[in-house]
Amino acid sequence: MTARTIITVPADARPDAGSALRLVRLHLESRRVTAALVTVVACALTLRIALRWSWDTYGALQLPLILESGCAAAIGITTGSPFGEPERATGKWLPLLRLGSAITMTATAVIAFAVATLGADLAGGIADVVRNVVGLVGIALLCAALLGGGLAWTGPVVYMIVGAYGLYTDWHPPAITSPWIWPARPPLDLGAALCAATVFAAGIAAVTWRGARESA
């Protein structure tokens, strides 16, 4: 031992505001949140630009879902940790940081879509965006917990096709009416909203508690 003194930190010690902010910043940087935010903004801008073109009914309904899936996949990827076990062993505030970053990123995506579509004719409206983004992020978080942050995109991307076809069947019977395929339900459908919220809660809980799987 070369250190002259050993500083003992009490178990219930709380970081001061500066340290807390630094911790949050380092956590977000390590999760490549900047790249995810760029992706979210790019998706929102793409939606804004795409809404200026003409779309048939299917296209108008499926377009937001596709871009929401891209956002959700990016948010899921931010759960991957580059540090692994050392961070798990020493990061006392890690669950809170995971919880906070996931919820903040989800809220950011919803706000980005809401701002981008202001004054535009968005099929389904903002209620549809909120429900779809929340549900898709939940799927991404669950995938991150099961497969790892690097593969978190698989769930939202696969669900994107499921949802897009569900929307298609609204005109091409037999319609798929399960609330678990919430993009195909009306924006204010309670069952669909509950299913999306349930998946989001499960995803948040899994990522907060366990974090993303580390093998990927």
Partner 1 sequence: MTAGAGQVVGQADGEWRAWRQRLVAGVRLLRLELRRSAMVWMLPVTGALFWYNAFRESMAEPAMWNLRAMTMQHGVLLDFAPPVVGAAAWMGSRDGRRQLTDLIGTVPRPRWTAQLATWAAVTCWALVAYCCCVGVLYGLTARQASWGGPLWWPAVVGAAGIPALAAVGFAAGAWFPSRFTVPIVTVGAFFALGFSSQPRAPQWRVSPTVSGAPSIGPDAGIGTFYHYLPDLSIAQVICVVGVAVAALGALGLLDRASGSWLRPIASSMTAVGLAAVVLAAGLAGTARLDPHGMLVIPALHDAANDRPIGYTPICAHAVIPICLNPAYAAYLPECKRALAPVLAEVAGLPGLPVRMSQGAPVYFGPLNSGFAPSGAGVVIADGSSDGSRQTTLVLPDQLPGEPSGADITVNQFIGQIRLPVAADLIKIMVGVAPGAVRVGAVPGAGRISAASGGGSPAQRAVAAALAIDAGATGAPRANTAVGLAADRFAALPAAVRHAWLATHLTALRAGRITLAQLP
The contact set with partner 1 (CB under 8 A) reads 32, 35-36, 39, 46, 50, 53-56, 59, 62-63, 66-67, 69-70, 73-74, 77, 80, 149-150, 153-154, 156-158, 160-162, 164-165, 171-174
| Least distance CB 90 / partner 1 (angstroms) | 24
| Least distance CB 46 / partner 1 (angstroms) | 8
Range 90-99 contact pairs with CB under 8 angstroms and sequence separation of 24 or more = 93/15, 93/23, 94/211, 95/208, 95/209, 96/208, 97/23, 97/24, 97/27, 98/207, 98/208, 98/211, 99/204, 99/207, 99/208
Query: DSSP secondary-structure letter at 150?
Result: G
Q: Which is nearer to partner 1, 138 or 156 (CB)?
A: 156
Q: Which is nearer to partner 1, 124 or 156 (CB)?
A: 156
| Least distance CB 12 / partner 1 (angstroms) | 37
The C-alpha atoms of residue 102 and residue 137 are separated, in whole angstroms, by 9
Q: Which is nearer to partner 1, 149 or 193 (CB)?
A: 149
| Least distance CB 145 / partner 1 (angstroms) | 16
Q: How many residues does the chain have?
A: 216
| Least distance CB 36 / partner 1 (angstroms) | 7
Q: Which is nearer to partner 1, 93 or 165 (CB)?
A: 165
Give one DSSP letter per residue of 67-114, joined into a string. Answer: HHHHHHHHHHHTT--SS-HHHHHH-TTHHHHHHHHHHHHHHHHHHHHH
Query: DSSP secondary-structure letter at 166?
Result: H
Q: Which is nearer to partner 1, 144 or 193 (CB)?
A: 144
